[in-house]
Structure 1
Amino acid sequence: MAEHPAYPVGLRLTGRRVVVLGGGQVAQRRLPALIAAGADIHLVSPEATPSVEAMADTGEITWTRRPYAEGDLAEAWYALIATGDQEANSRASAEAERHRVWCVRSDDADRATAWTPATGHSEGVTIAVLTTDAKGRDPRHTAAIRDAVVEGLRDGTLVAPHHRTRTPGVALVGGGPGDPDLITVRGRRLLAEADVVVADRLGPRDLLAELPPHVEVIDAAKIPYGRYMAQEAINNALIEHARQGRSVVRLKGGDPYVFGRGMEELQALAEAGIPCTVVPGISSSISVPGAAGIPVTHRGVAHEFTVVSGHVAPDDERSLVDWPSLAKLTGTLVILMGVDKIGKIAETLVAHGKPADTPVALVQEGTTAAQRRVDATLATVADTVRTEDVRPPAVIIIGDVVNVGPHPSK
């Protein structure tokens, strides 16, 4: 058998009897895929890991709590032998051979009639990597090849052209806080497949350099006519390019729906009859404090955190924030877009009962190579912003969690 390579095949196990012998770590790793395949799974084992036991408790598998016995593989289509008893494994393997049941053995691949490939998934495709012969089997090597292929498909570095007609439309992609590695796998894949990218100033700019030359990049930060008209122009650009049959990505910083005006864009697309996909992103309200060593919650320090837009001052009639109530909270307050208003914000919080010595941290250009952290208190933060020349984009964290990490406030 070792002289010939294994023949790769995909098994359709829906509703078919599959027997798993042993409820340890091997079974725990292999069972989810068998469950996903719709197999009628029968586990035979006196014991099982908590995760495997939970699968039995929820009815995903049937568990017989005893060691292997002759006849357990009757009527099976496929068997996974993974007990710690080598003699029982050999007897079960012999039974599988007699009944012509394809059998995987975790303890002795040479005596198995089937091997489990290293598998991965990407957009409806299963990638399976199988060593060509038993003598040279190296699970780490096959897993590394699998990982490289899957990662390449997911992040767009390995592009497999689609030979089907793509449905034109728009994807609102949250690019994360700035570090290009923090965009989601799905977001990166859609970016790699885009014909047009409408990019925010605060999006992960380094990703734009990776786009193929044919991709049209529209700098949303430079669309004219001011803030209101800029948004209208962005909406029109998305609609226009999608109507031309192009795949459009609206690349936004953070998450599309966290002060990102993503819903306005989705509503405009819906009114125009343009299909739209929303891809969530990592919000800077959580990730930037974390990158600076500040947890937004910490046991015994903060049981809640509140994210607030600071682009409108507390005394501005357009403000929708209940600042007096925020001053009474004991948790963490995270302010986005508030650098130029932080003096008035701090003054308002103190006026409504927040202690003046409450720690404050400002994290500028969070998660990027230019990241820096400046610490202050509510009493000193306005002066600190001026003397330290803190500029947007910066996330402001207010609360005792500022002192939890390795960088205590000054």
Structure 2
Amino acid sequence: MKHHLDTLGSCTLVGAGPGDPDLLTLKAVKAIHAATVLFVDDLVNDAILGYARPDARIVHVGKRGGCKSTPQAFIEKLMITAVREGETVVRLKGGDPFIFGRGGEEVEHLREAGIECTVVNGITAGLAAVTSLGVPLTHRDHAQGVVFVTGHAKTGAGAAEDPTDWRALAATAHDARLTLVIYMGVAGAGHIQAELLHSLPGATPVAVIQHASLPHQRHIVTTLARLQAGIAEAGLASPSVIVVGDVLQGLAAAQLPAGRFGT
């Protein structure tokens, strides 16, 4: 695809949603179809790329926790170079670009390079996960708010061992009646469980949803006291979302007595 090097292109960060292509926004579909180059994250459903132009260049820049991935700085360099070459760039990210998608970092680096970026929101996995179970994140009787938090600690020189104060978060969730939605928390579920139990009752209902919104979605409904055991028994792994809170009471009451994951 030929471009004039003196014509600056454009860049759009697009949320691809939790996986189901039908959950894309119309604005996302339009942006994908207009792109000449797409930089695609690892968890983006291949079916979504069917909306791209036949002549679009698709570059997979996978980033998945615990696996070999493309360095973030290199992805940003590729994006900047493509825009400077006049390309219509779409950075396609799973879920929402601004919820644990490093969208904020990318926008900052693009601005430093003199490039303004448009952002198209996507349905984040935490929302899709509970919706798939017919459960709300907030409820006038059970939860006055919701907290989205990552269970994956930042690594590298100078990084704290556990940047999230789970005990303080649990106390706040208990006192303020909040639902906790934990992304990337399966690997550290034992530690998270132990810390949350300092302020939340062991009987607090919990759901763990893997591959939210996709045909092969799996989930368990259990209690905080059995979180790690339930995950191990069910063989759940990443990508999964852990939801903690009383909004799950109705679902737990319907499933736990007859299920293998109850107390």
TM-score (norm 2): 0.84
- Structure 2: which 5+ residue stretches go unaligned? 1-6, 257-261
2:164 counterpart SS class? coil
Cα displacement string for residues 299-335 of structure 1 (whole angstroms, at most 9, x for unaligned residues): 211111111100129xx83433221222122321110
Check if 1:333 corresponds to 2:170: no
Cα displacement string for residues 129-156 of structure 1 (whole angstroms, at most 9, x for unaligned residues): xxxxxxxxxxxxxxxxxxxxxxxxxxxx
2:225 counterpart SS class? coil
1:380 counterpart SS class? helix
Q: CA deviation at 1:222?
A: 7.0
Show the counterpart of 1:324.
167
Question: How does 1:151-166 map onto structure 2 within 5 Å?
Answer: none
Show the counterpart of 1:298.
139
Find the aligned partners of 1:220 and 1:294 in 2 and give their Cα distance. 33
Equivalent residue in structure 1 for 2:127, among 286, 293, 301 = 286
Equivalent residue in structure 1 for 2:202, among 348, 356, 362 = 356
Find the aligned partners of 1:233 and 1:205 in 2 and give their Cα distance. 22
2:228 counterpart SS class? helix
Contact 2:8 2:83 in 1 (8 A): no
Equivalent residue in structure 2 for 1:277, among 101, 111, 118 = 118
Equivalent residue in structure 2 for 1:180, among 1, 17, 21 = 21
Letter in 1 for 2:208: L
Check if 1:365 corresponds to 2:218: no
Find the aligned partners of 2:148 and 2:116 in 1 and give their Cα distance. 30
Show the counterpart of 2:95.
254
Q: CA deviation at 1:226?
A: 5.3
Find the aligned partners of 2:143 and 2:34 in 1 and give their Cα distance. 42
Find the aligned partners of 1:199 and 1:297 in 2 and give their Cα distance. 32
Show the counterpart of 2:193.
346
Q: Which has the higher contact order (CA 8 A, sep 6+)?
A: 2
Equivalent residue in structure 2 for 1:266, among 107, 116, 131 = 107
2:214 counterpart SS class? coil
Find the aligned partners of 1:180 and 1:231 in 2 and give their Cα distance. 25
Question: How does 1:88-237 map onto structure 2 within 5 Å?
Answer: 168-221=9-62, 230-237=71-78
Find the aligned partners of 2:244 and 2:63 in 1 and give their Cα distance. 32
Q: Residues 320, 226 of structure 1: CA spacing in aligned structure 2 closer, same or farther, 3 A cutoff?
A: same
Number of aligned residue pairs: 240
Contact 1:304 1:332 in 2 (8 A): yes
1:381 counterpart SS class? helix
Equivalent residue in structure 2 for 1:389, among 235, 241, 260 = 235
Q: Residues 388, 405 of structure 1: CA spacing in aligned structure 2 closer, same or farther, 3 A cutoff?
A: closer
Q: CA deviation at 1:176?
A: 1.2
Question: How does 1:53-72 map onto structure 2 within 5 Å?
Answer: none
Cα displacement string for residues 180-235 of structure 1 (whole angstroms, at most 9, x for unaligned residues): 11111111101001001111112233111342331111111179x955x6101110
Find the aligned partners of 1:222 and 1:337 in 2 and give their Cα distance. 13
Moved over 3 A (4+): 405-410
Find the aligned partners of 1:220 and 1:325 in 2 and give their Cα distance. 36
Cα displacement string for residues 368-408 of structure 1 (whole angstroms, at most 9, x for unaligned residues): 11111112212211122112110111111011212324853
TM-score (norm 1): 0.55
Contact 2:143 2:179 in 1 (8 A): yes
Determine which structure has more spread, i.e. the larger CA radius of gyration.
Answer: 1
- Structure 1: which 5+ residue stretches go unaligned? 1-165
Contact 2:8 2:85 in 1 (8 A): no
Contact 1:178 1:205 in 2 (8 A): no
Contact 1:199 1:218 in 2 (8 A): yes
Find the aligned partners of 2:243 and 2:9 in 1 and give their Cα distance. 41
Contact 2:35 2:53 in 1 (8 A): no
Find the aligned partners of 1:404 and 1:222 in 2 and give their Cα distance. 36
Identity %: 38
Q: Residues 298, 222 of structure 1: CA spacing in aligned structure 2 closer, same or farther, 3 A cutoff?
A: closer
Show the counterpart of 1:3.
none
